[in-house]
Amino acid sequence: MAQKNKFLQISVVGGTDADRSTLALAESVGKAIAEQGAVLICGGFGGVMEAAARGAKERGGLTVGILSNYKKEKANPFIDITIPTGLGHARNFLVAASGDIVVALSGSHGTRSEVSAALLLGKKVVGLKAWQEIEGVHRVESVAELKKYYFA
Amino acid sequence: MAQKNKFLQISVVGGTDADRSTLALAESVGKAIAEQGAVLICGGFGGVMEAAARGAKERGGLTVGILSNYKKEKANPFIDITIPTGLGHARNFLVAASGDIVVALSGSHGTRSEVSAALLLGKKVVGLKAWQEIEGVHRVESVAELKKYYFA
Amino acid sequence: MAQKNKFLQISVVGGTDADRSTLALAESVGKAIAEQGAVLICGGFGGVMEAAARGAKERGGLTVGILSNYKKEKANPFIDITIPTGLGHARNFLVAASGDIVVALSGSHGTRSEVSAALLLGKKVVGLKAWQEIEGVHRVESVAELKKYYFA
Amino acid sequence: MAQKNKFLQISVVGGTDADRSTLALAESVGKAIAEQGAVLICGGFGGVMEAAARGAKERGGLTVGILSNYKKEKANPFIDITIPTGLGHARNFLVAASGDIVVALSGSHGTRSEVSAALLLGKKVVGLKAWQEIEGVHRVESVAELKKYYFA
């Protein structure tokens, strides 16, 4: 008989040009997602996306990169499965739509578009030290808090 | 010889469930766009989208509705040209991308996704009594101010 | 009162690298669409798209180009309204979806994707000296026949 | 150190309303993909998509369903990872774009749109007892032949 594996899917969104502490936080989120047995979904490129994917792979997790272009080889090296959409920035909606939970770190317009899309789609959106100014975002201060309240 | 008409295109975004004063403002924006000889672009449905399109048609303007579904007949009655994308909420990116200028009235997550998309694409985004909390949005207090500074 | 103009919308699809007789045919289709008072929808670039748009403008028609990229300036010079989707080849579905009728001239994979999308969406697809091998396509041999049976 | 798993990705496309022999063939393709260690990509719904995913899971493979709607729960029970795009039929382009190889079984307009999209993107497209009328499709008569020439 076929073995079914409906995975919990957790999207991580955040800036491409992130500072060191944000990247460290992203890597911790990636580890936590893998430890939880969930699949990490992200935009597949650099910055927060790459740090989170690296964290997930360090814990043996599975990672999916939903790219804005058609170039599979442009995914960061920690992406297992690549969805090269070619959709341009509209791919942000797919990253948001593919998470059962969306974890948002600090970022700029692209990240805000993903947070907005996720809220529009009725997703649970957790802002990790970020985005508390947007109504509907659940703010947490640490990965420990994220795990405690949202990954249980 | 063929007559060429590259129109200035102005996108108007804002809430579906808008209050009376926002709808009145949207209608004034639509009128101003038509008076300017520009084409009004919007999401084609109700609320701010419909009020703006009605305003544009009251001044003999041309209106385009970029729909999230495939149902042309669901466009509001003031839409001349319908682009029924079937793309779901991802159509918000197209509304943002299609404006040379994006005018944003108050709204919720959908509007914020359009403002974010427009900023991500490097568009000039004018917040009409709204969205000043987002970096990069040019806030104006009236349609007169909008016309003076942005439609010149 | 607002004047409502629900236009008939006719999409024209066909190859970018088209031969002379196909381009002449495309231009005639564009003229016929404009004479019909319909709006011409196309992909906005070269080949059949440009010839059809040129024909429409020669008869004072209105043209819409749904681009695959974000670069409005890449539209051919006969496009009045530009929808720069940034969606890559997926924009082909939008060209198909936006026509009440889809007229297909000879072309390659891109055109076949548009014909297939149009049939999938239940559109009336007319193959002008082309695509008769696809079930569901109505083949005609001339623009006169196209006008007689489909633009009436 | 992080373990990197760049998987070979193989997309399977074909009809929702498929006959018994096509479904059996699809299941065999799914098994062959899993035995190859590749990830199966499909549209996530019924018919050929479900049969192929069931085959892959019977051999312990990994399956991805790229859905046209936002409803993860509508994926067939053999899908591990769900990408609920909400893009309507335009998701067909993503199924095509996500495969390093695209295997096409018999189907109708939707399948033809996927074959066309894959060819447009320069993918290797193998028609399994189908689609030989489209230039560029490599026709094979059996799963054994498919494995021998394309999965080596």
Q: What is the pLDDT of residues A92-112, one digit of tens each?
A: 999 999 999 999 999 999 999
Residue from B30, B57, B44, B143 nearest B85 by CA: B44
The helix (run of H) or strand (run of E) holding residue A57 is helix A48-58
Residues 6+ apart with CB under 8 A from B80: B57, B62, B63, B64, C4, C5, C6, C7
Residues of D in contact with B85 (CB under 8 A): 88, 90
**Model pLDDT, residue D13:** 98
pLDDT band at A5 (very low <50, low <70, confident <90, very high): low
Give the chain C residue whose CA is nearest to the CA of A68.
C87
Please say whether the beta carbons of D56 and D32 come within 8 A.
no
**Model pLDDT, residue C1:** 41
Q: What is the DSSP string of C76-122?
A: -TT-SEEEE---GGGHHHHHHHT-SEEEE-S--HHHHHHHHHHHHTT
Task: Identify residues of A whose CB sits under 8 angstroms from chain B CBs.
Answer: 87-90, 92-94, 108-110, 112-113, 116-117, 119-121, 133-134, 136
The whole-angstrom distance between C121's CA and the closest CA on chain A is 21
The whole-angstrom distance between A3's CA and the closest CA on chain B is 32
pLDDT band at D117 (very low <50, low <70, confident <90, very high): very high
The whole-angstrom distance between B42's CA and the closest CA on chain A is 17
Range with lowest mean pLDDT among A5-19, A40-54, D65-79: A5-19
**Model pLDDT, residue B6:** 77
Q: Is residue B138 helix, strand or coil?
A: strand
**Model pLDDT, residue A2:** 47
B5 has a pLDDT exceeding 60: no
In whole angstroms, give the CA distance from residue D118 to residue A114: 28
Residue from A32, D112, D59, D116 nearest C89 by CA: D116
**Model pLDDT, residue C151:** 86
Whether A109 sits inside 8 A of B116 (CB atoms) is yes
Please say whether the beta carbons of C59 and C38 come within 8 A.
no
Q: Is residue A128 helix, strand or coil?
A: strand
Residues 6+ apart with CB under 8 A from D100: A72, D8, D9, D10, D123, D124
The whole-angstrom distance between A146's CA and the closest CA on chain D is 23
CA dihedral sign of residues B121, B126, B129, B135: positive
**Model pLDDT, residue D3:** 46
Q: Is residue C52 helix, strand or coil?
A: helix
**Model pLDDT, residue D122:** 97
The whole-angstrom distance between A24's CA and the closest CA on chain B is 25
Which residue bears the tokens 């009728």? C101
D1 has a pLDDT exceeding 50: no
**Model pLDDT, residue D6:** 77
The whole-angstrom distance between A6's CA and the closest CA on chain B is 24
How close are the terminal C-alpha atoms of chain D, in Å?
A: 29
In whole angstroms, give the CA distance from residue B18 to residue B130: 13
What mean pLDDT comes out for the span D54-74? 97
Query: Length of chain D, please?
Result: 152
Question: What's the token pair of residue C27?
Answer: 């231009």
**Model pLDDT, residue D131:** 98
B106-139 pLDDT tens trace: 999 999 999 999 999 999 999 999 999 999 999 9
Whether A90 sits inside 8 A of B94 (CB atoms) is yes
Whether D94 sits inside 8 A of A82 (CB atoms) is no
Give the chain C residue whose CA is nearest to the CA of B53.
C2
pLDDT band at B3 (very low <50, low <70, confident <90, very high): very low
Question: What's the token pair of residue B77?
Answer: 């009655």
What mean pLDDT comes out for the span D10-16? 98
The whole-angstrom distance between C72's CA and the closest CA on chain B is 8
**Model pLDDT, residue D151:** 85
Which residue bears the tokens 């992200």? A42
Whether A82 sits inside 8 A of D9 (CB atoms) is yes
Q: Is residue B51 helix, strand or coil?
A: helix
Torsion of CA A71, A77, A81, A87, to 10 degrees: -30
What mean pLDDT comes out for the span A4-12? 84
Whether C88 sits inside 8 A of A90 (CB atoms) is no
Residue from A50, D99, A144, A68 nearest B120 by CA: A68
Residues of A in contact with D94 (CB under 8 A): 83, 85, 87
D60: left (phi over 0), alpha (psi -120 to 50) or beta: left
Please say whether the beta carbons of A110 and B116 come within 8 A.
yes
Please say whether the beta carbons of C28 and C55 come within 8 A.
yes
Q: Is residue D15 helix, strand or coil?
A: coil
In whole angstroms, give the CA distance from residue A27 to residue B146: 44
pLDDT band at A45 (very low <50, low <70, confident <90, very high): very high
Whether C121 sits inside 8 A of D93 (CB atoms) is no
CA dihedral sign of residues A37, A38, A39, A45: negative
**Model pLDDT, residue C59:** 98
pLDDT band at A6 (very low <50, low <70, confident <90, very high): confident
Q: Is residue A141 helix, strand or coil?
A: coil
The CA–CA distances, whole Å, from D101 to A87, D14, D41, D93 equal 20, 14, 10, 14
Give the chain B residue whose CA is nearest to the CA of C73.
B6
What ipTM is given for this predicted complex? 0.95
Mean pLDDT (chain C) is 95
Give the chain A residue whose CA is nearest to the CA of C86.
A88
Please say whether the beta carbons of B9 and B49 come within 8 A.
no
Mean pLDDT (chain D) is 95
Choose, out of A7, A85, A119, the residue to mutate when testing the contact with D (most D CBs < 10 Å): A85
Whether D133 sits inside 8 A of C133 (CB atoms) is yes
Using alpha carbons only, what angle is made at residue B92 by residues D99 and B118, rounded to the nearest 5 degrees? 105
Whether D86 sits inside 8 A of A64 (CB atoms) is no
Whether B119 sits inside 8 A of A109 (CB atoms) is yes
Residue from B19, B13, B10 nearest B134 by CA: B13
Determine the residue type at B92: N
Please say whether the beta carbons of D79 and D97 come within 8 A.
no
Using alpha carbons only, what angle is made at residue A31 by residues A27 and A36, rounded to the nearest 5 degrees? 145
Choose, out of B66, B83, B87, B113, the residue to mutate when testing the contact with D (most D CBs < 10 Å): B87
Residue A42 pairs in a beta bridge with A65
B22-66 pLDDT tens trace: 999 999 999 999 999 999 999 999 999 999 999 999 999 999 999
Residues of D in contact with A98 (CB under 8 A): 82-84
The CA–CA distances, whole Å, from B128 to B115, D11, D56 equal 12, 47, 54
A131 has a pLDDT exceeding 80: yes
pTM for the structure as a whole? 0.96
In whole angstroms, give the CA distance from residue A61 to residue D136: 38
How close are the terminal C-alpha atoms of chain C, in Å?
A: 29
In whole angstroms, give the CA distance from residue B138 to residue B119: 11
In whole angstroms, give the CA distance from residue A48 to residue A26: 6
Give the chain B residue whose CA is nearest to the CA of C82.
B98
Side-chain-side CA neighbours of A64 within 13 Å: the count stands at 30
Please say whether the beta carbons of A64 and A39 come within 8 A.
yes
Whether C88 sits inside 8 A of A89 (CB atoms) is no
Q: Is residue D97 helix, strand or coil?
A: helix
Chains that touch D (3 or more CB pairs under 8 A): A, B, C
From B87, B116, B133, residue closest to A116, measured CB to CB: B116
Residues of D in contact with C133 (CB under 8 A): 133
In whole angstroms, give the CA distance from residue D9 to residue A25: 31
Phi and psi at residue A54, to the nearest 5°: -60, -45
In whole angstroms, give the CA distance from residue C14 to residue C52: 10
Residues of B in contact with C5 (CB under 8 A): 80
In whole angstroms, give the CA distance from residue A60 to residue A74: 22
Side-chain-side CA neighbours of B133 within 13 Å: the count stands at 8
- Sheet hosting strand A124-128, strand order edge to edge: A81-84, A62-67, A39-42, A9-13, A101-104, A124-128, A138-140
Which residue bears the tokens 């108050």? B106
Residue from B148, B94, B147 nearest B123 by CA: B94
Choose, out of B106, B108, B120, B137, the residue to mutate when testing the contact with A (most A CBs < 10 Å): B120
C81-123 pLDDT tens trace: 999 999 999 999 999 999 999 999 999 999 999 999 999 999 9
